[in-house]
Amino acid sequence: MSDDKTTQNSPQTVLSVQDLCTSFRTDDGLINAVKNVSFELAAGEFVGLVGESGCGKSVTSKSIMRLLPDHITEYSGAIEFGGTNLLELPEKGMQEIRGNRIAMIFQEPMTALNPVFTIGWQLNEALLYHTKLGKAERRDRAIELLKMVEIPLPEQRYDEYPHQLSGGMRQRVLIAIALACEPELLIADEPTTALDVTIQAQILKLMRDLQEKTNTAILLITHDLGVVAQTCSRVVVMYAGQVVEQASSSDLFHRPRHPYSKALLESIPRSGKKKKGQRLATIPGLVPTLQMMPSGCRFADRCDYKQDRCVDEQPEIGLTEERLVRCHFPVGSAEASEA
Amino acid sequence: MSFVKAEDLVKHFPIRGGVFSRIVGAVHAVNGVSLQIEKGETLGVIGESGCGKSTLGKTIIRLLQPTAGSVWFDGTMTSALSHNDLMPFRRRMQFIFQDPYSSLNPRMTASQMLTEVIRFHDIVPVGERKKYVDELLETVQLRPEYRNRYPHEFSGGQRQRLNIARALAVKPEFIIADEPVSALDVSVQAQILNLLMDLREQFGLTMMFISHDLKVVEHFCDRMIVMYLGSVMERVSCDNIYEDVRHPYTKALLRSNPINDPDEQTELFILEGEVPSPRDPPPGCPFASRCELVEDACRSTQPELVTLGEGQQIACDPVVRKLREG
């Protein structure tokens, strides 16, 4: 990704996930939810983490925030953030980073806010823990944040409860809380999935504007490729707990190299190119379960380009024409066309 | 006459309050909707959450009793029929619900679920029921071996197939599908859409397809109506929506929809403001508060749905006037 535009402007790496494996101890033994995931985020970069339900994208983000239950979770690899490995940090140290230097926005704006406290109280909480501001200053800052996320009448909203706000407004409040301490990294886990398209557009524009203003790196976790196309400069595609492709948005959408990325893009109905009764391309079969991961390529069973080697040997993620692809025979390569 | 027809359909939900739970107001969920669906046609109903599209579907099929207006099904006014007289029509119209997780009884196996409706409507003789259940499962591309499984043993896509099988079990002619693919991943969504398309052709079904996803409706439907705050804003053919739509709300909806191409991104289109409360809808055009073409008259009188030809209808006075003036 060295030729990426954003990387050139700000080559400083904010987050570097290296070979992350996250497993859960269960009655059925150790279950590996995320395996050998590596990616980097530079300051001011907007990166999408894409995949279908159960592919490990939320586990990856929660591993970065260390929000998974400690007593059953085992990590390996490293998550470098500001010179420290977050996986080795004690809980106390993590608390100083969480909500302060790394913030997170959750999917459900309806449930992520505490219904019994006012908007102002919830904004105050983050400021109280992480800053040395006095009471009056915190109120000013909170109202300033509400203004920043374009909430009308912020002074009045400050004293209102979550149920008095619409879904879009609540998501704005969550963004305001996340940005309260000016984090270096913002993780947005499906921030617009529960919202209508017109409200979704408002929230995405807000996130993009704020990112330009504050130079925060944003990791956007989503299953909606349209949202990625609209906002992200780079995309990481996950399948069954692994990263299968990592490329700039433009490359991925126009020339996907991993068969899974290609199939995923083809299964979305395309606007404006309707043919009567045309069927959508589908991916046959199901995602393998975590208990029964195939030893070879995890996508092999459903892949149109499968060869014998795919079943026997797990492909490593490797550089193919300036992007990372986990496939023995990437789409469009000389080896693939032999099949 | 159209196969399914609704005329000035109104559905209000009373709001009760005070010590004696008196009716203090009403949620105006559906406000005078008229529509026609021809036999074999699929009508898409599109709109944002809270616009009344699900209520419209449920009122048409009489899961909800309309407050005013009438529904006609194959020449009979079903909205006025008694519970018993409605029964034969219940078999002919079916509903597929949105959430494949909560719409199946967790304590019934696939075959119990299907047998229940088959028995109730007496679709096949007792001796043939088991065979018929297997056929149904095969129709929706589930293996007959799955007949004794409970809902939790199925994935989201498989549950939606089961929902479809349950709707098909009574050999219906008209199906209302309420957001049947919204809860599913895109690759599974594509499988279910393909299945519905095959079944539609195989059984000659007439359908009403409720969705918030413009791309899915454009792909799946022949025609669509666009709803906003309980009213129809526009009715348009799905063949060429990008050129045909004229209503400012539909246009805003089209432009808010993400384009799947990072290189074609223009500045994000923003429709300012939010939907007014359905408890206290504005007197004029429901969209007036957010519309770019708004005039004084829009705020006081609700525009009529005007036919423009080719089956297109639009409820927007400024647009209609502009077209007539050429």
Cβ-Cβ pairs closer than 8 A, A with B, add up to: 122
Domain assignment of residue B226, yes or no: yes
What's the confidence (pLDDT) of residue A337?
57
The torsion angles phi and psi of B33, rounded to 5 degrees, stand at -95, 130
Same domain, B44 and B191: yes
pLDDT for res A335? 67
Helices (H), ranges, chain A: 5-9, 57-65, 91-97, 119-130, 135-148, 154-157, 167-179, 197-214, 225-231, 249-254, 259-266, 308-312, 334-338
DSSP state of B257: S
Q: What is the CATH number of the domain that holds B249?
A: 3.40.50.300
Tell me how close the Cα of B307 comes to any Cα of chain A, in angstroms: 24
C-beta separation of B166 from B137 below 8 A: no
Question: CA-CA distance, A326 to A220, in Å (whole number)?
Answer: 21
B75 and B223 part of one domain: yes
Task: Please provide residue B36's backbone torsions phi and psi, each rounded to the nearest 5 degrees.
Answer: -130, 140
Are A73 and A60 within 8 A, CB to CB? no
Contacts of B51 (CB under 8 A, 6+ apart): B227, B228, B229, B230, B275
Chain A environment of B270 (Cβ under 8 Å) = 201-202, 205
B80 and B212 part of one domain: yes
Q: Do A230 and B191 touch (CB under 8 A)?
A: no
Residues B84 and B121 occupy one common structural domain? no
Backbone angles phi, psi at A73, to 5 degrees: -105, 135
Interatomic CA distance for residues B236 and B246, integer angstroms:
9
**Residue B177 β-bridge partners:** B96, B209
| pTM of this structure | 0.86
What does the alpha-carbon distance between residue B195 and residue A164 come to, in Å, rounded to a whole number? 42
Question: In this structure, is residue B161 part of a structural domain?
Answer: yes
What CA–CA distance (Å, rounded) separates A137 from A158? 14
Cα B55 vs. chain centroid, distance in angstroms?
A: 9
Phi, psi of A252 (to 5 degrees): -65, -45
- Predicted pLDDT at A321: 76
Cβ within 8 Å of residue B170, ≥6 positions away: B91, B94, B117, B118, B121, B123
- Determine the Cα–Cα distance for residues B59 and B45; give it in Å rounded to an integer: 14
Min Cα distance B217 → chain A (Å) is: 9
Q: Identify the CA nearest to A225 among candidates A243, A212, A207, A238.
A: A238
- CA dist., res. A56 & res. A59, Å (int): 5
Residues of A in contact with B271 (CB under 8 A): 198, 201-202
Identity of the residue numbered A228: V
pLDDT tens digits in sequence order for chain A, 339 residues long:
444 444 444 468 999 999 999 999 988 888 899 999 999 999 989 999 998 888 898 899 999 999 999 899 999 999 999 889 999 999 999 999 998 999 999 887 778 899 999 999 999 998 999 999 999 999 999 999 999 888 888 999 999 999 988 888 898 999 999 989 889 999 999 888 878 888 888 888 888 888 888 889 999 999 888 899 989 999 999 999 999 999 999 999 999 999 999 999 988 887 665 555 678 888 887 788 888 888 899 999 889 888 889 988 889 988 877 789 999 988 887 666 544
Per-residue pLDDT, A272: 63
A252 CA to chain B: closest CA distance, Å?
Answer: 9
CA distances from residue B318 to A91, B246, B292 in whole angstroms, order as listed: 62, 11, 11
What is the DSSP-derived secondary structure letter of residue A98? B
Residues 6+ apart with CB under 8 A from B87: none
What three-state secondary structure class fits B175?
Answer: strand
Please tell me which residue of chain B has the smallest CA distance to A194: B49
Taking the CA atoms of chain B, what radius of gyration do you get in angstroms? Answer: 21
| Tokens linked to A33 | 């939810």
Neighbours of B60 (CB within 10 A): 29
Computed from CA positions of residues B155, B157, B158, B160, in that sequence, does the dihedral angle turn out positive or negative?
positive
Distance in Å, alpha carbon of B284 to nearest chain A alpha carbon: 22
Please tell me whether residues B212 and B312 are part of one structural domain.
Answer: yes
Does residue B115 belong to any structural domain of this protein?
Answer: yes
Q: Which two tokens mark A164? A: 């008095």
Residue of B51, B153, B159, B185 to mutate, interface with A, max A Cβ within 10 Å: B185
Chain A residues with beta carbon closer than 8 angstroms to that of B260 = 225-226, 229, 253, 265, 268, 270
Mutate one of B49, B198, B212, B219 to test the A interface: name it (highest A CB count within 10 A). Answer: B219
pLDDT for B266 equals 67
Number of folded domains that form chain B? 2
B174 and B235 share one domain: yes
For tokens 């309309």, name the residue.
Answer: B66
In a domain, B102, yes or no: no
Q: Is residue B97 part of a domain?
A: no
**CA-based nearest residue to A335, from A300, A316, A310:** A310
Mutation target among A6, A198, A231, A274 for the B interface, most CBs of B within 10 A:
A198
First vs last Cα of chain B: how many Å apart? 33
The predicted structure's pLDDT at residue B185 = 84
Q: Is residue B99 part of a domain?
A: no
Give the residue numbers spanning the domain of B291: 4-92+170-325
Q: Answer yes or no: do B80 and B202 share one domain.
A: yes
Regions of chain B with pLDDT less than 50: none
Question: Are residues B165 and B182 both part of a single domain?
Answer: no
Is the same domain home to B160 and B184? no
- Identify which of A116, A112, A96 has the alpha carbon closest to the alpha carbon of residue A104: A112
Do β-strands A234-239 and A242-248 pair in parallel, antiparallel, or remain unpaired? antiparallel
Q: Please report whether residue B263 resides in a domain.
A: yes
Residue A265 with chain B: CB contacts under 8 Å: 260
Q: Which of A231, A280, A283 to mutate to test the interface with B (most CBs of B within 10 A)?
A: A280
Backbone angles phi, psi at B252, to 5 degrees: -65, -40
Pair (B235, B295) in one structural domain: yes
Within a domain: residue B219?
A: yes
Q: What is the pLDDT of residue B271?
A: 86
Same domain membership, residue B144 and residue B86: no
Length of chain B: 326
Q: Which two tokens stand for residue B119?
A: 């028995």
The minimal CB distance from B194 to the residues A166, A265, A280 is found for A280
B268 interaction partners in chain A (CB closer than 8 Å)? 201, 204-205, 208, 230
**Can you give the pLDDT at residue B187?**
84
Instruction: Extract the tokens encoding B56.
Output: 């419209």
Closest C-alpha to B302, from B322, B285, B278: B285
- Rounded Cα gap, residues A204 and A92, in angstroms: 33
pLDDT at A282: 85
The interface predicted TM-score (ipTM) is 0.81
Which of B142, B169, B196 terminates a domain? The answer is: B169
The predicted pLDDT at position A275 comes to 59
Check residue A66 and report its DSSP letter.
T
| Domain stops at, among B169, B203, B222 | B169
Out of B120, B139, B169, a domain closes at B169
**Whether B157 and B176 share a structural domain:** no
